[in-house]
A and B are shown apart, each in its own frame.
Chain A
Amino acid sequence: MSAFAVDRRNFLRTGAAAIGGLLIGCYLPERRKLAADTAVAVNKLNAWVLVSNDDFVTFYIHKAEMGQGTVTSLSMLLAEELECDWSKIRTEFPGVDRAYGGFQGVVGSQSIRSSYVSLRQAGAQAREMLIAAAAAKWGVDKSACRAEKSTVVNTATNARFTYGSLAEAAAKLPVPANVALKDPAQFQIVGKSRKRLDTPGKVDGSIAFGIDVRLPNMLYAVVERCPVFGGTAASFDDSKTKATPGVKSVVKISNGVAVIADSTWAAMEGRRKLTVQWDEGKVAAHSTPDITKSFADAVAAGAPPLRNVGDAAAALASASKKLEAVYQTPYLAHAPMEPLNCTAWVRPDGADVWASTQMQSMAQQIAAQKSGLPPAKVEIHTEYMGGGFGRRGGVDYIGEAVEVAKAVDVPVKVTWSREDDMRHDTYRPASYCRFAGGVDADGWPVAWTASIACPAFAGANTSTEGVRDNPYTIPNFAVDYHDVNPGIPVSYWRSVGYSQNCFFAESFLDEMAHAGGKDPVEVRRRFLAKNPRLLAALELAAEKADWGEPLPAGHGRGVSVVNNIGSNTVQIAEVSVEKGKVKVHRVVCAVDCGAVVNPAGVTQQIASGIAFGLSALKSGVSIKNGRVEQGNFHQYDVVRMDEMPKVEVHIVPSQAAPGGIGEASTPGIAPAVCNAIFAATGKRIRQLPIRPEDLA
């Protein structure tokens, strides 16, 4: 593998070789081999920090970047304690390595939460090693030295060593076990808005995403998969495919037939001429109407409560006013702008996988499983993702590419078409929720029950989050759940269960408020009295959105309150409905996500999550005979420039433990908008996407 390792590194764009360095004390065996072939001294002080002799610091970002700003925010945590010059930072995504704690991936808006202390410690350790190296050179005590902008200063003489000149000596020192971290009041970087480190490479086309990987002798492949989920190829005729210019070979794999060619387009052309007979399997029996009916039937059959507060049945029976409603949401595709793709090179003694993935650790496991190699022989090269939204938390497309790559002895890049992406997604589950609610003689909600049916993929709690764990102290509440799974693949979709369940709960709470003749903010205020953070966010949003102030004719405001991923968001949307179309004019979002690393990043992510959630008002995935009916953006429309509202973000100052942000605002936008539609028109939206007849 040694000759290969060096050869491979030479053509990697971002590998250590690209910065011309000798890696000392690093963990990856093949990188040690690389060291023998290079001569410039650079030094890795711990798993996250490498200092080069040109004074640049390389941060190894062990998470992944799909737009959420992790490369920048994690660099800020490291730089805060390292005291390095922000203009001399490089970043890389390392391979899978136990040094990063046994799991590498981005899921559940965890990157900052899981790194807030550990990366500051890593930065502080590296700083202390550099200070110790300087102190030794000067022959002074460490207490006579301080770190400042990538130098160590001798406080007695004002002499300085640059980090680059200290790195080699520092790397030979022991890693200090206990280092004191700064008091947050002393932060220079954390908590102050920084521009993204990845912006320059994203305005000139130079940053490479997974789909941009290019390797010597690389071939290109596409895969014809069964249009019905779970189906397999019984037989195929590839005679016309093989006659297509550029096509090299056709290979049957476990989930379909791969066409391998000398360009992506040649592979697509060859695939077009392929004839496959499918064993469609049992999912072919399912279409959206029968799936919906199976949800309704399950809910009607009843189940023991998953969570029970007070006595909802008795309270409903004695309520002054009762209401019932059924809410529904469809399967949803993720549709990241970069279609799925993966490049793999499988050899008898090892494999390399280049992928835009949220899940490096799982990528390594699936590649090992599919190649038959031990995980340690599989190198995962993490690439920038052109969007993930949960789709790239799955590794099906990585395992598939490894299967294809086993058929050839060179690297092969498997690219999915948009139709492949939309029809072979792992979808947000379709969901169905039946509510009953009651208000008392004074008009306050006194009881509510929810019964939810949807396919589970991570347990009942995930399927019901947003309803089950709603933050309100309404005295009587019960929720039950029914796992109904027709076999359409389902998985994580930005904000997961909250994404549909907060639409259900926040809309129905609005219905209860109106049924009792109460103001929707007033009702929330009353039942959040014991939740000071959400209450403060609610007051801030109401003030900033001019809640209760007059609006132009035909406009309405709607509110939503969400507690997820350790963060609190309150959104107030202002909408109008003109000629059957919803126009969202403005969204005010108050967010308390605890201590903030990059305020600019928080603002970006709130707007981003809102755009993502708004698209769910426009489109859904429908199933016919086990097949997804939508294939491309003309059938699965998403929010456009002219539909994006002005988003005003107000961050509640906090030193509480950091919450997540990438998924904070997605759940609240649908109910805020739909509650505003009710305020503007009296039409209650209980099913997404919104259909013209719902507004008529």
Chain B
Amino acid sequence: MPAVKFTLNGKPQTVDAVPAMPLLWVLRDTLGLTGTKFGCGMSLCGACTVHIDGQPQRSCVTPISAVAGRKVTTIEGLSADRTHPVQKAWIEEDVPQCGYCQSGQIMTAVALLAKTANPTDADIDEAMRNNICRCGTYEDIRRAMHRAAEIKRAGGAQ
């Protein structure tokens, strides 16, 4: 199996894997980073969202070969101590219920806030509508995203 080299949460990473193996399973089973979740396997639910070179991507349909030389950030790499503005806002608003989809929700929200500092509700709808939450935390997510934008404006930006 060929070795794939990429940057994972800021550190160099090499894995031996079948080229077609999705990044999701490399993260979870090979590397033990289980914060990124399996939900549908077809890029339909968003639970597996990670950042590749800063863009939100579905790791369940991203072959490991496609991340060679690229920068991958997972929920574990967002901050060392839950101090990313989005994590702070999620804690303030007590967003999660079962919590399973929240890694993907947070990664998608972080990506939106990186390009749109003050998202409108319509911006949030558009960015988040492909991240499914069966517990129905959507309005809490919306509130937390507005709060995260505030925290960033107040100087907590990363």
Contact = CB atoms under 8 A, between A and B. Distances in A.
Nearest to A639: B136
Interface in B30-72: 30, 32-42, 44-45, 47
A337 interface: yes
A265 B82 contact: no
Nearest to A211: B38
B135 interface: yes
**Chain A binding surface, main DSSP class:** loop
Contacts of B101: 337, 386
Contacts of A612: 134-136
A692 B98 CA distance: 33
B156 to A, nearest CB: 15
B6 interface: no
Contacts, number: 183
B75 A418 contact: no
Given A203-B90, A264-B29, A611-B138, A198 B96 contact: yes
A608 B141 CA distance: 13
Interface residues of A, number: 63
Contact of B39 (A196, A207, A337, A610): A337
B25 A263 contact: yes
Contacts of A263: 21, 25, 29-30
B134 A335 contact: yes
B25 A386 contact: no
The CB with the most chain A CB atoms within 10 A, among B22, B28, B30, B97, is that of B97
B82 to A, nearest CB: 5
B67 to A, nearest CB: 15
B128 interface: yes
B138 A205 contact: no
Interface residues of B, number: 60
A548 interface: no
Contact of B35 (A206, A634, A639, A647): A206
Interface in A203-253: 203-209, 211-212, 214, 220, 245-246
Interface string B83-110: 0000100110011111111110010000
Contacts of A600: 94
Interface stretch (A64-72, A296-304, A362-370): A64-72
Nearest to A386: B100
B111 to A, nearest CB: 15
Contacts of A15: none
A418 B41 contact: yes
A647 B141 CA distance: 14
A641 interface: yes
26 contacts: A67-B97, A69-B97, A195-B94, A196-B94, A199-B94, A202-B96, A203-B106, A204-B87, A205-B36, A206-B35, A211-B38, A214-B32, A245-B1, A263-B30, A335-B134, A337-B37, A386-B98, A387-B135, A389-B134, A418-B45, A604-B137, A607-B139, A607-B140, A611-B133, A633-B42, A640-B138
Given A67-B135, A205-B76, A604-B94, 5 more contacts: A199-B95, A337-B45, A418-B42, A633-B44, A633-B132
